[in-house]
């Protein structure tokens, strides 16, 4: 079975409809990812089925907790090789996207991807979340923030929540152990004027591991002191 047939069947099983253009975009992205990974460390996951399950289908699970029809713009914080941002953009071309990452090499790769896949209304920005969250154009500007970054939930929330509009949402993609981080996030949520409103735990296809989606609602404006300077949120989580 070829790449597109595999992806189509997996998507269909999850009630996700992918047309020919989207299937081709995913295949082109896969080949670019694997080729660039030969000269640059983008991902440890390179086998075709694993990329489909752990990167592409996993990125699209956001729709399990969000009504994507109600979302007009999304920011992906710490996008890395483009996850979950690029798969979500392919799936929802009408939504505006901003992808940010602190490593310029990854940003250059994503610019190539956007060009080859002919994606519109998407831009990538090089920088640290701590700094970019103070940019007036970005702060408090997004309906939804997503992140698959590996930071602790409290640390990640301090990076991400300032980007969201009041009544907007942050969806954090976590491995199964993310539930432990939820238990220690109360003080962080209070400090950032937010609350965890939904936790969705499930298993990825083909026993590829547990996944937890943590949906956080921003209830009021983020205090000006957050996010704190680079390094502090990770060393001393709220």
- Contacts of residue 10, defined as CB under 8 A and 6 or more positions apart, other chains included, come to 52, 53, 57, 205
- Given CATH 3.40.50.150, say whether it is the number of domain 3-235: yes
Confidence band for 90, pLDDT divided at 50, 70 and 90: very high
| Residue positions counted in the chain | 238
Instruction: List pLDDT tens digits, range 157-196.
Output: 999 999 999 999 999 999 878 888 998 899 999 999 999 9
What distance in Å separates the CA atoms of residue 233 and residue 231, rounded to the nearest whole number?
Answer: 6
Is-contact 58 80, C-beta < 8 A?
no
Instruction: List pLDDT tens digits, range 12-45.
Output: 999 999 999 999 999 999 999 999 999 999 999 9
In the numeric block, the tokens 């694993």 are attached to 50
């Amino acid at each position: 079975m070829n790449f597109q047939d595999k992806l189509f069947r997996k998507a269909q099983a999850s009630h996700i409809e992918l047309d020919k253009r989207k299937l081709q975009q995913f295949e082109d992205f896969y080949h670019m990812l694997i080729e660039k990974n030969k000269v640059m460390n983008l991902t440890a996951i390179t086998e075709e089925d694993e990329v489909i399950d752990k990167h592409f289908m996993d990125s699209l699970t956001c729709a399990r907790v969000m009504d994507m029809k109600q979302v007009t713009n999304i920011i992906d914080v710490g996008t890395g090789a483009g996850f979950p941002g690029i798969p979500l953009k392919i799936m929802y071309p009408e939504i505006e996207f901003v992808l940010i990452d602190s490593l310029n090499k990854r940003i250059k790769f994503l610019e190539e991807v956007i060009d080859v896949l002919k994606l519109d209304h998407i831009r990538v920005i090089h920088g640290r979340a701590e700094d970019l969250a103070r940019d007036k154009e970005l702060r408090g500007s997004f309906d939804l923030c997503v992140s698959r970054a590996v930071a602790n939930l409290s640390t990640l929330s301090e990076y991400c929540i300032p980007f969201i509009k009041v009544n907007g949402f942050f969806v954090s993609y976590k491995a199964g152990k993310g539930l432990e981080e939820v238990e220690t996030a109360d003080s962080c949520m209070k400090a950032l004027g937010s609350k965890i409103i939904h936790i969705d735990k499930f298993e990825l296809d083909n026993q590829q591991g547990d996944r937890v989606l943590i949906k956080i609602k921003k209830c009021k404006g983020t205090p000006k002191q957050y996010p704190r300077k680079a390094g502090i949120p990770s060393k001393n989580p709220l």
